[in-house]
Chain A
Amino acid sequence: QKEVEQNSGPLSVPEGAIASLNCTYSDRGSQSFFWYRQYSGKSPELIMFIYSNGDKEDGRFTAQLNKASQYVSLLIRDSQPSDSATYLCAVSSVTDKLIFGTGTRLQVFP
């Protein structure tokens, strides 16, 4: 069974701090990695994707991938209360469907 694991949280960080969200996956054949954000009662929305080892930055968000360690993370700089949500990690191989983790709940307090 291919698995994607995340700490369920909640991860609590003060406003302005860096939030670090982590995800590990079991399938070494995985090639595509995604971070979705889901506000309470809403549907998931894609915020980042990464294919290559290393860092990918988009505004306040940085995705980090280490395929050797089967580890992907999401850093949120200058965290805002509006970032409070559940963050879902998702993984897929080239021709396969997404496998989602159970999500990490982030709370940013003023």
Chain B
Amino acid sequence: DGGITQSPKYLFRKEGQNVTLSCEQNLNHDAMYWYRQDPGQGLRLIYYSQIVNDFQKGDIAEGYSVSREKKESFPLTVTSAQKNPTAFYLCASSIRPRGFYNEQFFGPGTRLTVL
């Protein structure tokens, strides 16, 4: 079955630690995205990637980093510089990059809690 997987579903982190959230897709999509969701707010874009080895900052990139070494994978690292990392993180992908709209398909999300 084609889709987007995120792991782990729940993640706990101690203050000062970096953690990496996994996002994999087998839809052969070119573009991938990371969003953060907080209570009472909509989704906010952290980073996006339109092609392998290229990525762009979204609205709230500070304290986060990403890589795109393979088309199907777009891991997100939450660094110790992120002051308030407790949130729900959603990964998405779409078939075409910049300049065209195509539907974004979402993964099931990862809930990150800082202890």
- Indicate, yes or no, whether A interacts with B: no
